Chains A and B, each alone.
Chain A
Amino acid sequence: MTASTLALEDVAFAYPGSGFRIERLDLAVAPGDLVAVIGASGSGKSTVLKLAAGFLAPTRGRIVIDGADVTGAPPRMRDLGVVFQAYALFPHMTALENVAYPLKVRGVAGRREQAMRMLDVVGLAAFAERRPDQLSGGQQQRVALARALVFRPRALLLDEPLSALDAALRGEMRDEIRRLQRQHAIATLHVTHDQEEALSMADRVVVMREGRIEQAGTPRQLYEAPRTRWVASFVGRANLWEGVVRETAAVETPIGLLRANALRLSLGTRVTVLVRPENVRLGAAADGANTFRGRLVRDRFLGATRRYDLEVTGGTIVGETPESNAIDVVHIPPDRVQLIQ
């Protein structure tokens, strides 16, 4: 097993005077990996980042960086590059001075040249003499990234770095962050509330809920094999129905009997049935299995695709399709029916 660059081991924390607490949290970032922590507001994801950075001290457990216990070390001794949600660029310094600052506090010679090279890497060499208020949001973000990387930190912490950008720029910056992160082969902990951002950027995703880790895995594992109903609903869009196993390959749900691949569950087991919208097919199945007729109650044009709600007996099926024809019958292939216990 590869040693982690950054690890939170059996960490506990509670905000004084609030009911929120983190208990027995274990989280590790392997060298060169990007681990995204996602969760709703108040799930504790930002607290995890603050604990790792040293802005908060755990009440129990250890924070380990490159094998060394840094639990009691102040943030400035941890050698971590942090990119903040609102960039936190120093307003009285130029872009170049901002990037050179961590080198200056370390007394590095030739810091202006090094900072300039890093600005060049993020494509902002021409903006070196501008102050933050003379830069766009995307440019400020790049400066913040350059500043966090220029002193070759042991790991990078990203605190919702794209939340202040518009949608188009967010996509561009995702690729840019990933490029820089890979180029520097730096272990990265990325906190975000945007699941799409997490799934598209991360090697591993950690889903947090109410101060604990609900599930961790690769983006594909989380999307395709969520362990709980909550993870299924939080990661991606989902049709979720409560059901009871009635046959070896069928589950009784409010919308009717749903056939699935052979089940390894005993009859009568209560399950949650998960069907992703993109797995709902238009028209009836050749053998008539999992075919539903209904009334289209909502149809949203999303550009390359459309998302629709089909009201059927006992509920609503949400589907996605690139087709533009009328929708009144859909079917769900049995191999696309997932069960969560």
Chain B
Amino acid sequence: MAWVTGCYLAYLALPIVLLIVGSIGEIWLNTLLPHGLTGRWYLDVWSDGSFRRAFVVSLEVAAATCLVTTLIGLPLAYGIYGAGSRGVRAAGRLIALLPIAVPPLVLGFGFVLVFSSDVLPYLGSLWVLIAGHVVLTLPYIVQTLVADMRHLRLGTLLQAAESLGASGPRRFFDIVVPSLRHSLGSGLVTVAALSIGEFQLSNLVAGFLTRPYPVVLLQAFYGATGFACAATTILLALALLGSVTGSLAARGTGAAGAASA
């Protein structure tokens, strides 16, 4: 069993290892591994203005997406969990899950149609890009939060808080937010990772100055292998950074809520 797990993990890690190896290899042409050792591909990526801008855009979009999905997802999950009617709960879940069922490409076309009109001529703006990412990632955070609310029996905790004298907003900030810090953290890790790696919708709705990293990355594959590997490795590091930041931010929110209680 252990060797099966080992093989599987190796299979998963192999592309990442090859990317890292390729990003520091001098020349890689028709050989199993590259020849020579260099750091110049990273310097080349860094000196390329479009990559630098895309890097910043991706971080901004991921941060904003995390913030907006938290602000919308938490009350939405709370509403779905607390809905008295079973039908309302089912409808809420369905609406929240819809973006997962619809391919990002279809959503992207929808955004193009809506935001390229004269009424809403915002296609290419950062806000439209963020809105697209929010629509795509919201279901993941809502599902995670609703599942955790059920697991924690949040309804009983809220009844307890209410019986102890806590008002609605107080219950939300004293009990709901800190109780859900772990699921919020894991939800935000997913949101950040998805946002940073998102290509299909971003490619359709981003403007020239708001292209996120994955969209710009496509250009790298028309150039040297080392350059493409370095640019992709940076994307991996970016996704990791986004995930860790999202998780830490959620823990910080929860810890602050707990401390104030």
Contact = CB atoms under 8 A, between A and B. Distances in A.
Interface of A: 53-55, 74-76, 78-82, 84, 86, 88-93, 97, 101-102, 104-106, 147-148, 151, 157
Contact of A55 (B159, B161, B170): B159
B261 A92 contact: yes
Contacts of A86: 153, 156
Nearest to B177: A92
- Give chain B's interface residue range (CB within 8 Å of chain A): 20 to 34
A76 B163 contact: yes
User: Which of B152, B162, B164 counts the most A-chain CB atoms under 10 A from its CB?
Assistant: B164
26 contacts: A53-B163, A54-B163, A74-B162, A75-B159, A76-B164, A76-B166, A84-B160, A88-B153, A88-B156, A88-B157, A89-B160, A90-B157, A90-B261, A91-B152, A92-B181, A92-B254, A93-B261, A97-B258, A97-B261, A101-B161, A101-B164, A101-B174, A102-B165, A105-B170, A106-B165, A148-B164
Contacts of A80: 163
Nearest to A98: B261
Given A84-B160, A92-B178, A105 B165 contact: yes
B163 A90 contact: no
Contacts of B23: none
A232 to B, nearest CB: 35
B190 interface: no
A81 B165 CA distance: 10
B159 to A, nearest CB: 6
Contacts of A79: 165
Contacts of A105: 164-167, 170
A38 to B, nearest CB: 22
B216 interface: no
Contacts of A53: 159, 163
B162 A75 contact: yes
User: Which of B159, B163, B166 counts the most A-chain CB atoms under 10 A from its CB?
Assistant: B163
Return the 10 tightest CB-CB contacts between A and B, nearest first: A88-B160, A102-B164, A82-B163, A92-B258, A92-B178, A105-B165, A75-B162, A88-B156, A76-B165, A105-B166
A151 B166 CA distance: 13
B137 interface: no
A92 B179 contact: yes
A151 B165 contact: yes
B158 to A, nearest CB: 9
A90 B166 contact: no
A55 B174 CA distance: 20
Contacts of B164: 76, 101-102, 105, 147-148, 151
Contacts of A151: 164-165
B76 interface: no
User: Which of A79, A81, A89, A93 counts the most B-chain CB atoms under 10 A from its CB?
Assistant: A93
A84 B261 contact: no
Given A82-B159, A88-B157, A91-B179, 6 more contacts: A54-B163, A55-B159, A84-B159, A92-B257, A102-B164, A105-B167
Contacts of A93: 258, 261
Contacts of B254: 92
B37 to A, nearest CB: 49
B230 interface: no
Contact of A104 (B162, B178, B261): B261
Contacts of A74: 162
Contact of A84 (B156, B170, B257, B258): B156
A102 B162 CA distance: 9
Nearest to B164: A102
A152 B229 CA distance: 67
User: Which of A75, A81, A97 counts the most B-chain CB atoms under 10 A from its CB?
Assistant: A75
Nearest to A131: B258
B123 interface: no
Contacts of A88: 153, 156-157, 159-160
B63 interface: no
A80 B164 CA distance: 8
A223 B157 CA distance: 37
